[in-house]
Amino acid sequence: MDWATISRLDVRPRIHSALQQSTYESLGQILQAPSLELQKRLKLSSLEVSELETAVCEVIYNVRSRRQTAAELQNLQRFLSTGDPACDALLSGGIPTRGITEIVGESSSGKTQLLLQLCCIAQLPTNKGGLGGGVAFLHTEGKFPIPRLTQLLTRYKDDFPPQFDPSAHVHYVNLVDTETLYHIVFYQLPIIIERQQIKLVIIDSIAALYRGEHFDQDTKGRLSQRKELCDISVQLRTLSEQYGIPIVCSNQVSDALLDNEATSILDAYEQWLPTVETDISDIELEPFVASLSKVPTLGFLWSNSINVRIRLARGHRTEELMKARRLMCVEFAPHAGKGCVEFEIYDLGLRAVSSTSETSDDVPSL
């Protein structure tokens, strides 16, 4: 080991001399070696080895320089706008740029529509609610909806420079199985984030792969699936913290397995009635309670891996209103309380019902 490396260690001269005469080539080798081996090879006492190990740790990972207060961490937090002021208010600013945000809901609740809208907004400058960068979109079902993305981008065409093509900065790949997902998340995603200035990563949907993939149903097979899912979630959180970008994943739901359907409905009421009041309108939960009572897939392991869960619910059609009603709810988040906002999907994206202008009646909702 060269003297330049040894001199960085804040230890007594006797330990410096022992390291110069040793065959260790790096500080990592010292940190990985057992204490008894260090005592024998360096001819040091147990107290001197403990001093050496502490000094090596401070050089490799200086805790003092990395220490941050809660106020400093809060100032580092930024948000990606959803594209609607009422939805941003529900989320206390939008999608946080650190951590994993899950968007969960049944089919046709608006998950993919919201994800595509985030694709557009993420490329806007920060003063317009965006992050000023590209998007990595990992999708699992069917073809990537390029026509719909192009349609949504027309809403923001005046916010981009004349020669800028935002569709060229959405990098999408189709995931066919969990092995492909694992390889991309661990090996390809870090590279594309750096090279393409990615500011948002989307996975739509992570549940589709694990529900369709064949795993042995014995204990070993289930543990293997859970370990793989845990490894992926840890890697996604690491990338989010390292690059300061949001990770947004959609998830599916399944019916709750209860003996009494009335119990499921009652539990849904008890869960969502205490939501905070919004300035939109008094939301009647009855049309959405069947949707809200469904259970997100992937179980408690995945639920404990995410930081924010946004629930999208689809209500039943009524005679007075011949279009489906939709609801966006915050199920849990470290920066926002529970709440709900009713929204609709129209030609140019997603918007809260109260955000509809007087002139937008001519624009059909979906």
Give the best-scoring range by mean pLDDT among 12-21, 54-63, 222-231, 259-268: 12-21
| Predicted local distance difference test score (pLDDT) of residue 35 | 92
At residue 157, does pLDDT exceed 60? yes
CA dihedral 107, 112, 117, 121 (to 10 degrees): 130
At residue 294, does pLDDT exceed 90? no
At residue 365, does pLDDT exceed 90? no
Assigned CATH topology for domain 3-66: DNA polymerase; domain 1 (1.10.150)
User: Is the model more confident about 206 or about 272?
Assistant: 206
At residue 172, does pLDDT exceed 60? yes
User: Is the model more confident about 309 or about 361?
Assistant: 309
76-105 residues labelled b (16+ CB within 10 A) or e (exposed):
eebbbbbbbebbbbbbebbbbbbbbbbbbb
Mean pLDDT of 101-121: 93
| Predicted local distance difference test score (pLDDT) of residue 95 | 96
* Percentage with pLDDT > 70 across the chain: 82
- Written as one letter, the residue type at 98 is R
At residue 362, does pLDDT exceed 50? no
Rounded to whole angstroms, the Cα distance separating 132 from 122 reads 6
| Predicted local distance difference test score (pLDDT) of residue 356 | 47
Burial of 245 (0-12, 13-18, 19+ CB in 10 A): buried
Give the best-scoring range by mean pLDDT among 30-44, 219-233, 274-288: 30-44
- Written as one letter, the residue type at 211 is R
Q: Which of 20-29, 110-119, 205-214, 259-268 is predicted with the least confidence, judged by mean pLDDT?
A: 259-268
At residue 276, does pLDDT exceed 60? no
Rounded to whole angstroms, the Cα distance separating 54 from 10 reads 9
Rounded to whole angstroms, the Cα distance separating 254 from 245 reads 30
At residue 259, does pLDDT exceed 70? no
Task: Give span(s): CATH 1.10.150, the chain.
Answer: 3-66
CATH number, domain 75-362, options 3.30.70.260, 3.40.30.10, 3.40.50.300, 2.40.40.20: 3.40.50.300
- Give 20's contacts (C-beta < 8 A, 6+ positions apart): 1, 3, 6
* SS3 label, residue 365: strand
Token pair listed for 81: 């706008």
The gap between the terminal CA atoms of the chain, to the nearest Å, is 67
Rounded to whole angstroms, the Cα distance separating 347 from 13 reads 73
Mean pLDDT of 253-269: 60
Token pair listed for 2: 């060269």
Q: Which of 18-22, 70-74, 130-134 is predicted with the least confidence, judged by mean pLDDT?
A: 70-74
**Distance set, CA 224 to CA 45, 140, 205 (Å):** 43, 21, 20
| Predicted local distance difference test score (pLDDT) of residue 46 | 92
At residue 45, does pLDDT exceed 70? yes
Task: Give span(s): CATH 3.40.50.300, the chain.
Answer: 75-362
Cβ-contact 160, 210 below 8 angstroms: no
DSSP state of 186: I
Chain length of the chain: 366
Cβ-contact 328, 340 below 8 angstroms: yes
Cβ atoms within 10 Å of 145's Cβ, excluding its own: 17
Angle between helices 46-60 and 13-20 (to 10 degrees): 80
Q: What are phi and psi of 339, to 5 degrees?
A: -175, 165
Confidence category of residue 220, pLDDT binned at 50, 70, 90: low
| Predicted local distance difference test score (pLDDT) of residue 282 | 52
Residue (of 15, 12, 56) closest to 33 by Cα position: 56
